[in-house]
Structure 1
Amino acid sequence: MSVTEIEDAVVSNLGLLRKDWADTTINVSEDRLKTLCTELREKIFVIPAHFASNKGLGKSAENAIKKYQEFLLFSAVEVRNEEDVREYNNKLKNKAINKAVLITGSDNPSNRDEAQHSIEGFGKMFTWIKLSTLSFEGLRQVFIDPEHRCINWLSLQKIGVQFDPNETTYNYISGIAFEGISHMTKMNMRFSPNLNCIVGGRGTGKSTIVDAINYGVCNEHDLSKCRLLEKTLTKDAKISTYFNFGSNKPYVIKASRKGKQIVTDVEDNNGSVENPPEFKIDFYGQKEIFNLIDEDDNIANQTMSPLVKMIDDKVSADMYSYSDEIDSAILNMQKYSDEFKSNRKKIKEFPTIKAEIEKADTILKKFKASGIEESRKDFENIDNKIKNVEKSFASELNAVTVAVASFEEQNRGLDNQMEALDISVENAIELEVIEKLKSINQSLIEILNHKKESVETLKREYEISTTYEKREEIHRKYLNALDEVKNTGGEDINAIQDQLQKNKKRYDDLMSLQNEQGNIEKKIEESIDNFIDKRIELSKKRQAVIDNLKLENISIKVIPLGHLARWKANLQKEFGKEGTFDNDFQNLADKVLSKDNSWEQYRAFLKFMLITDSGNIEKFLNCSTDTRFAKLWTDKYNNDTLSSMIKVLPEDKLQIKIIDENGEIDINEGSPGQKSAAILAFILNSGENPLIIDQPEDDLDNSLIYSLVVKSIRKMKSKRQIIIVTHNPNIPVLGDAEGIIVLERNNQGKVTFRKGKKAGCIEEKLIREGICEIMEGGEDAFRKRERKYQYN
């Protein structure tokens, strides 16, 4: 209604003449007021101003306030402070007033007295409201759904008065422009940072648009993976995707077709960007959400559980440290295992070494009995004595030779110095000194040469002494004794004795290794414990991530190392036996990954693979198996590759339950629609990147769309951008989408915006009509919304 209509149709009809409007002593007929409020119910909002002030409605008796409730409901109530809020809550508790939206307006309070009006107070207090068009219907939607559309001044005091809901801190796609898609007109779309819904009849290009976004942000380059775009993108097609890192860092990704590939160029406000950042989005095409459950066991298509991966992606930075610690723990296990196996291989030499020692001992005993030992020792003693004396002669002669060479070198140097000096009176002293130094050196050379001759004479005398003769005699005696024992097997006594010493040392070393094996085995057990501890820490981190999501109507529990199906399949793949020996591998998985959360059997299995001396899996299982299955393990052992199997890690299992008034339903026991609804709720709550989903309702249980999906959308749309292609009106309507894009085909059969309207919200007539015309059950969705969020 216009101001004039309000004055004429309301105020004047109440019997208030214009001259009396400022007179607070003038009363109006209660019956007339009641009649007018009933007649204008759909055209007016009734908002009690300054509710708890002296003349405010809140100060009236409760019975007086209740009388209004007989013929009108308040759309909102103006409150100025916490006292006003308490007054309103008391009246609401006593059912004197209906539940309404609390708003705050300045009412031009004076700096001296809040009850007085003044120009300086204009705009001092205010309420943020969100609507797409400033209209009666837009404001009605604010009052229907204030949770996401209204922030009053009192709330701003708590979150900060500088808070601006128009500022976006998370990443979002602000728009996409494209041309050259064969079945679509040239289009330029803009998206809200919050919830966007793309709606339209069958064949109106909805899926094409989200696929274009996926390729436009470089999420995918290979067109052969998207038949829709491959068929519809012309060779001259262009896609420009506008990606914002918060409100202040915009980029545009320009994509074009090159054969079977999409090539891109990135620009920011300064022009082309050589090394652009990664434009991360979470994209789910048709059926992908439902397939997440079916693919959870499929190791061929998913290297890790896709459900677990969604959790890890939420804290990808933390995952690096967990991964590094787990990898380090695995390397430690393998290092100690390699050491243990190497020692065990060496220890197997014990019997051979012991036999060789005993054989050598037998031979040496025969040698000793023949007297050869004493002869050998006598010969060695005198031979060593002679060698020591000869060594002394050699040392002395070498020292003399070196000294003579040194003095001769010095004299050559002195000669060079003399040649450099002129024979003159000035150089006479220097020449004399050099001559004397040469003379001294020459004297020393002569003395040393004399020493050399004396040492050589002494050496010749020693070589013809009786000591040499005695050595020859003892040597002959030793050779004779050796001839006598040639048939004992000890022809080379020295080699036998040398080998005996080596074997004894080897025996001692092996004994040390054998004693050390116990310590290494303990280190292996400790390294296994450390690995499992690190692995369980990762599971606890994942659970903490889930707990922080504060999910409603859905329970998700991480079962550490609990994904038996994936572990079994990965073991089969490692052995190259996919799909075979299913029962044996299943029995192994059931035994190793028991459900007692102690992981003792898994520890024992790791130890078996790390230190088994046979690879006998039947011994570990304590039961018989298919002989061919058992051979797989012994072959791995014989190839020394069994310990590498510890890298086949059991994954966590997510236990997902849907919670309703009837209790809990395990997702694996639910219908396909229930499964999809639960997973979609999880997806909505488990990320920060822009989320794009194509027609999720195709697999959803309609009864859960509100309780699981819409509630999650409403909770998350202020924390991450959501773009959904949907046929279900409950998603844009109950989700209160900030951007609804309605598509249709024009007279030429090309996809375009319905009636030229690019985007809007549910308060806009063209948008409401589009939802009601195109989406099945559209009107019902609006009625359901007002039942869910009715305040007025």
Structure 2
Amino acid sequence: MRNQEFNKRGSSWRKWDLHVHTPISIEQNYGGDQGWDKYFDDLRKLPEEVEVLGINDYLFLDGYWRVKEEWEAGNLPNIKLLLPVVELRLDKFGNSGGSLSRANYHVVFSNEVDSSIEPQFLNNLESTGYQIGDYEWDKSPTRDAVEELGREIKNRVPDGVLPPNGSDLKVGHDNLNITLKSIKTALSKSDFKGKALTAVGLVEWKDIRWEGSGAEKKSLIDKCDFVFTASPDIESYNRSKQYLIDNQVNPRLIHASDAHNNLDSTESNKLGHTYTWIKCDPTFEGLKQSIIEFDTRIRISENKPVAPVNQIEKVSFDFPPETELKSKSATDTFCFRGSHKFYFSPYFTAIIGGRGSGKSTLLNLIAEKIKPGKSNYFKQKELIPDSVNIQECVDIDGVTTPEKVEFLEQNEIEKFAVDYKSFTEAIYQRIFKLDDESKLAEIEFEAHELQDTYTTHRNNLKRKSDLIEQKKKIESQLSTQKSIVESFTDEEYVKLNDDLKELTTLKQSLESSKKRFNIFNDKIKEALASVTEIEKEPDDYNEFDLVFTEYLEGVQSSKDSAESNELLAKGEAKIDGLIEKIAEKKLAIEKFLGSKGHTLENLKDISGANERIASLESELREVSQSLARLERFTLNEPYKRDLVGTFNVNINQVLEPINEKLNVQNDQVKPIKIEFNFDESHFVNEANKFIIEKIKEFSEGKIREDHIASRLEGVNLKEIANKDDLLRVIADDGTVTSTAMKDYFNNSLNFEMLRGFIEYELLRLKKYGRFNIYYDERPLENNSFGQRCTATLVILLLLGNTPIIIDEPEAHLDSKLIAEYLVDLIKEKKLERQIIFATHNANFVVNGDADLIHCLRIDDVSKVTHSEDITIEDVGSRSSLLALEGGKEAFQRREDRYGLRI
């Protein structure tokens, strides 16, 4: 179990300074023994992010023990770990700068073996020896022995030569050369196995000439675990890093202060001057694992590395103790009944455990909380009793929104591998986020605006077509009614009929105006009712508030004034008067016609015809006016096709850098490529469906769909510019189908509606856009199922920056593929997006370098899931990782990757 003082969210970024001298170091500017109080005070004042120190007083540990004593007394609460460091001068000389220098060799020991360093390491070191005249020095470099050497060097200086400056200890140390062979022999002792890391100082190493000593120079640095630099700034560090890369030697360069000065010093080699951030628990093992995963665990920067923006931080469960899980075959104790909390790393969290330990249940609870009703797991199983509600019992804390979390349940990767529509939609969402200049969003916005314009145009065309048909019907009915009336030519009847027509027309005009007023007034009432009051005191109104208030009061006043206007009452009285007069006039006509011997049925026809004529003429005027208005709302500009091509070009430009990453040069994965194209067959099917529907409607369902479809085969509807072009490509074979199609499209309005549909559909960029995936230069669907799953998982991981949760991603994947490719992809992507896996595969966990691992197990008695939260560097719990299938081999491969045995 990890130390609970460590971050609950797993391996975390901290600043480490692995090269700090103390007031009793051989070389220092703290003031010697008199400087301890200020030194400790400075350590307490270090920036809060500095949590680990490596205490380095060259050959001796006295300073380390003094600092450790203060730390163990609780007087350095800001420091989480102290490591003992020994710095040695090797018998490897450089003089590229004109003066002789010796390579500095550092050994960083685990705090767990600090008591063994002096007896098992320092006392077993060997020097190259020293001889002056008859004096020969060849001893282990203890403090007394080194002082003796310094004293003898001073005493044996030739006459006329000034003795070296400094204490006996300093002079002896400055002339002491330790053999690399003795260092390696001492470190090979069992006490130090896996408990020591070696580093060479960059500056002195660079002084060794390549000419004549190149092989030795390269061997020295490459066989170290890392390289130390105390560069004054990050720019200098970057130049040094590039130097190592250019010379093809060990590039694992760590910055440290090499502090010889207090915190307030103006020198760069002072306390707190470190740029090294390491993402691990503050333990020696954490440092070891970070050296192995140097590129992703170690950063050199002033500020803390930025974590993925969108992330789930913590999930809490609080289910009633009686909760059970019911499936079709059984009802079991719910493994997460009661209270549970799970933290998640911002980077990569792995959930492991045996079958039935709750891994899938945990992830599906998160998925169901985020997107209710989407989890197939809880469609097949249900929590009982019915009162148990996942939305109430699951709580998620984080800095993301539900729609940004992507969850792939078991076997869903396989679904994407065979369902291009789902896969295309998943890619679409990611591609838009990668478009830094938002060109795709701008094009899509313009397309939506044009679609709105085209929709209005299509609606106008439909309305126009309907109005023309309506006008024809009204004119036909009007003609019929007029013919009935015109059959009576008696002058008295004609006058009575004209009077009735005039009265009816006047009444309908008044009623139409009344209706228009009431509709408008009702809308004003609705608008006023929907207005939100200004929640301010009038004295606090700004300019917009003042204008708004005046405007609102004006509208309210106008409405009130209109509703109380006496003209409305006069209008109502007119309508009532006209109704009476119309009734009187109808009665007069009936009496007249009755006097002429007409039957009751004839009387109703003639009387109704007069009234119907007035009504039809009023309808005809309204329809004609509507048609005239529609003529003014034609499409002012030609259809715009270039957006489709521009969209395709831009989306493929966004894909270029992605395809570069997917062009994998790996024995286990072949190159993957994504192309975006217009799905022509989908478009043709939709256009044909539109035409078939219209022709069937036109022919009142008398023509078969397949006959219509056969006439459209090979017709490129996108290239049809006018109705004549379309009529020419429809077979002129005299069949019922062809004749109906020609009759329908001979109507210009019908053709324009088809063209409006085509142009509108062409702007549905996402509907007809298709991402074609190629694996090893073959369409994805032409590859094996395993290869399809591989390409799918790679693309889903590579694209996007939002949290991705996958339940058992290893299904259908080759273990070698995971170990030799996917783990590197995960390590790269986890710095940009939060990744959460439930897995049985040790390589995902160990070589994917999981930052937090939840080890789930079911209690044999309570049947409740318990979790042990560990990290890779948590040696005490490593047995859980070794128990995974291939666990031991995964750790072996982890070390083999860089040829390290640390």
Shift of 1:75: 0.9
SS at structure 1 position matched to 2:896: helix
Q: Which moved more, 1:629-638 or 1:232-241?
A: 629-638
User: In the alignment, is the contact (CA less than 8 A) between 2:364 and 2:375 conserved in 1?
Assistant: no
CA 1:112/1:787 → structure 2, altered by over 3 Å: closer, same or farther? closer
Q: Out of 764, 772, 780, which is 2:889 matched to? A: 780
Instruction: Report whether the alignment pairs 1:244 with 2:398.
Output: yes
> 1:539-564: per-residue Cα shift (whole Å, max 9, x none)?
34433443465643355444332352
Match of 2:334 in 1: 183
Match of 1:655 in 2: 772
CA 1:173/1:561 → structure 2, altered by over 3 Å: closer, same or farther? same
Instruction: Report whether the alignment pairs 1:5 with 2:116.
Output: yes
CA 1:91/1:560 → structure 2, altered by over 3 Å: closer, same or farther? closer
Match of 2:311 in 1: 172
What is the CA–CA distance in structure 1 between the aligned matches of 2:807 and 2:742, rounded to whole Å?
A: 46
SS at structure 1 position matched to 2:382: helix
CA 1:245/1:582 → structure 2, altered by over 3 Å: closer, same or farther? farther
> 1:124-159: per-residue Cα shift (whole Å, max 9, x none)?
22310011x32232111111111111012xxx2xxx
RMSD between aligned residues = 4.8
What is the CA–CA distance in structure 2 between the aligned matches of 1:722 and 1:636, rounded to whole Å?
A: 56
> 1:428-447: per-residue Cα shift (whole Å, max 9, x none)?
xxxxxxxxxxxxxxxxxxxx
What is the CA–CA distance in structure 2 between the aligned matches of 1:38 and 1:138, rounded to whole Å?
A: 21
User: In the alignment, is the contact (CA less than 8 A) between 1:143 and 1:791 conserved in 2?
Assistant: no
* Unpaired segments ≥5 residues, structure 2: 1-109, 126-139, 147-168, 324-332, 473-623, 664-670, 697-703
CA 1:548/1:108 → structure 2, altered by over 3 Å: closer, same or farther? same
Letter in 2 for 1:175: K
CA 1:111/1:672 → structure 2, altered by over 3 Å: closer, same or farther? same
Match of 2:252 in 1: 101
User: In the alignment, is the contact (CA less than 8 A) between 2:364 and 2:377 conserved in 1?
Assistant: no
What is the CA–CA distance in structure 2 between the aligned matches of 1:342 and 1:573, rounded to whole Å?
A: 18
User: In the alignment, is the contact (CA less than 8 A) between 1:539 and 1:558 conserved in 2?
Assistant: no
Q: Out of 175, 178, 195, which is 1:43 matched to? A: 195
CA 1:229/1:339 → structure 2, altered by over 3 Å: closer, same or farther? closer
Match of 1:127 in 2: 276
User: In the alignment, is the contact (CA less than 8 A) between 2:311 and 2:802 conserved in 1?
Assistant: yes
Instruction: Report whether the alignment pairs 1:726 with 2:839.
Output: yes
What is the CA–CA distance in structure 2 between the aligned matches of 1:645 and 1:285, rounded to whole Å?
A: 39
What is the CA–CA distance in structure 1 between the aligned matches of 2:186 and 2:739, rounded to whole Å?
A: 90
User: In the alignment, is the contact (CA less than 8 A) between 1:558 and 1:652 conserved in 2?
Assistant: no
Query: Which aligned pairs between 1:351-362 and structure 2 lie closer than 5 A?
Result: none
SS at structure 1 position matched to 2:897: helix
What is the CA–CA distance in structure 2 between the aligned matches of 1:168 and 1:85, rounded to whole Å?
A: 22
What is the CA–CA distance in structure 1 between the aligned matches of 2:291 and 2:423, rounded to whole Å?
A: 49
What is the CA–CA distance in structure 2 between the aligned matches of 1:85 and 1:709, rounded to whole Å?
A: 29
> 1:636-686: per-residue Cα shift (whole Å, max 9, x none)?
99995755753555611212223xxxx534322222222222222222233
SS at structure 1 position matched to 2:199: coil
Shift of 1:698: 1.2
Q: Which moved more, 1:685-694 or 1:302-311?
A: 302-311
Instruction: Report whether the alignment pairs 1:27 with 2:151.
Output: no
Match of 1:389 in 2: none
SS at structure 2 position matched to 1:696: coil
What is the CA–CA distance in structure 1 between the aligned matches of 2:733 and 2:350, rounded to whole Å?
A: 59
User: In the alignment, is the contact (CA less than 8 A) between 1:197 and 1:723 conserved in 2?
Assistant: yes
What is the CA–CA distance in structure 2 between the aligned matches of 1:568 and 1:296, rounded to whole Å?
A: 17
Q: Percent identity?
A: 23
Match of 1:252 in 2: none
User: In the alignment, is the contact (CA less than 8 A) between 2:308 and 2:801 conserved in 1?
Assistant: no
Per chain length, whose mean CA-contact separation is higher, i.e. which structure has more relative contact order (CA < 8 Å, sep 6+)? 1
Match of 1:678 in 2: 791
Letter in 2 for 1:564: S
CA 1:587/1:43 → structure 2, altered by over 3 Å: closer, same or farther? farther
Match of 2:810 in 1: 697
Instruction: Report whether the alignment pairs 1:560 with 2:684.
Output: no
Q: Out of 338, 346, 353, which is 1:193 matched to? A: 346
CA 1:34/1:726 → structure 2, altered by over 3 Å: closer, same or farther? closer
Match of 2:143 in 1: 18
Q: Out of 276, 285, 290, which is 2:409 matched to? A: 285
> 1:425-484: per-residue Cα shift (whole Å, max 9, x none)?
xxxxxxxxxxxxxxxxxxxxxxxxxxxxxxxxxxxxxxxxxxxxxxxxxxxxxxxxxxxx
Match of 1:666 in 2: 779
Match of 1:370 in 2: none
> 1:338-397: per-residue Cα shift (whole Å, max 9, x none)?
699799999x9xxxxxxxxxxxxxxxxxxxxxxxxxxxxxxxxxxxxxxxxxxxxxxxxx
Structure with the greater alpha carbon radius of gyration: 1
What is the CA–CA distance in structure 1 between the aligned matches of 2:817 and 2:143, rounded to whole Å?
A: 55
CA 1:205/1:112 → structure 2, altered by over 3 Å: closer, same or farther? closer
Shift of 1:303: 12
Query: Which aligned pairs between 1:755-770 and structure 2 lie closer than 5 A?
Result: 757=868, 759-765=869-875, 768-770=878-880
What is the CA–CA distance in structure 2 between the aligned matches of 1:708 and 1:586, rounded to whole Å?
A: 50
User: In the alignment, is the contact (CA less than 8 A) between 1:559 and 1:653 conserved in 2?
Assistant: yes
Query: Which aligned pairs between 1:488-637 and structure 2 lie closer than 5 A?
Result: 527-528=638-639, 530=640, 532-547=641-656, 549=658, 551-553=661-663, 555-562=672-679, 564-565=681-682, 568=685, 572=689, 591=714, 601-605=716-720, 607=721, 611=723, 619-620=728-729
What is the CA–CA distance in structure 2 between the aligned matches of 1:212 and 1:787, rounded to whole Å?
A: 38
Letter in 2 for 1:770: S
What is the CA–CA distance in structure 2 between the aligned matches of 1:30 and 1:173, rounded to whole Å?
A: 49
Instruction: Report whether the alignment pairs 1:76 with 2:76.
Output: no
Letter in 1 for 2:881: I
CA 1:571/1:214 → structure 2, altered by over 3 Å: closer, same or farther? farther
Letter in 1 for 2:277: W
TM (norm. structure 2) is: 0.52
Q: Out of 313, 325, 339, which is 2:449 matched to? A: 325
SS at structure 2 position matched to 1:46: strand
Shift of 1:58: 2.8
TM (norm. structure 1) is: 0.58
Shift of 1:612: 6.5
What is the CA–CA distance in structure 2 between the aligned matches of 1:239 and 1:345, rounded to whole Å?
A: 61
Match of 2:290 in 1: 142
What is the CA–CA distance in structure 2 between the aligned matches of 1:290 and 1:242, rounded to whole Å?
A: 28
Letter in 2 for 1:145: E
User: In the alignment, is the contact (CA less than 8 A) between 2:790 and 2:813 conserved in 1?
Assistant: yes
> 1:398-444: per-residue Cα shift (whole Å, max 9, x none)?
xxxxxxxxxxxxxxxxxxxxxxxxxxxxxxxxxxxxxxxxxxxxxxx
Query: Which aligned pairs between 1:208-227 and structure 2 lie closer than 5 A?
Result: 208-217=361-370, 219-221=371-373, 226-227=378-379
What is the CA–CA distance in structure 2 between the aligned matches of 1:583 and 1:75, rounded to whole Å?
A: 77
What is the CA–CA distance in structure 1 between the aligned matches of 2:318 and 2:731, rounded to whole Å?
A: 68
What is the CA–CA distance in structure 2 between the aligned matches of 1:245 and 1:334, rounded to whole Å?
A: 44
What is the CA–CA distance in structure 2 between the aligned matches of 1:552 and 1:140, rounded to whole Å?
A: 31
SS at structure 1 position matched to 2:777: strand
What is the CA–CA distance in structure 1 between the aligned matches of 2:657 and 2:120, rounded to whole Å?
A: 54
CA 1:45/1:196 → structure 2, altered by over 3 Å: closer, same or farther? same
SS at structure 2 position matched to 1:693: strand
User: In the alignment, is the contact (CA less than 8 A) between 1:183 and 1:751 conserved in 2?
Assistant: yes
Letter in 1 for 2:896: R
Query: Which aligned pairs between 1:247-396 and structure 2 lie closer than 5 A?
Result: 280-296=404-420, 305-308=425-428, 310-312=430-432, 321-328=445-452, 330-331=454-455, 334=458
Query: Which aligned pairs between 1:395-414 and structure 2 lie closer than 5 A?
Result: none
What is the CA–CA distance in structure 2 between the aligned matches of 1:101 and 1:751, rounded to whole Å?
A: 45
Letter in 2 for 1:239: C
User: In the alignment, is the contact (CA less than 8 A) between 2:418 and 2:781 conserved in 1?
Assistant: no
What is the CA–CA distance in structure 2 between the aligned matches of 1:233 and 1:682, rounded to whole Å?
A: 41
Match of 1:368 in 2: none
User: In the alignment, is the contact (CA less than 8 A) between 1:555 and 1:656 conserved in 2?
Assistant: yes
CA 1:338/1:33 → structure 2, altered by over 3 Å: closer, same or farther? same
SS at structure 1 position matched to 2:894: helix
What is the CA–CA distance in structure 2 between the aligned matches of 1:583 and 1:782, rounded to whole Å?
A: 67
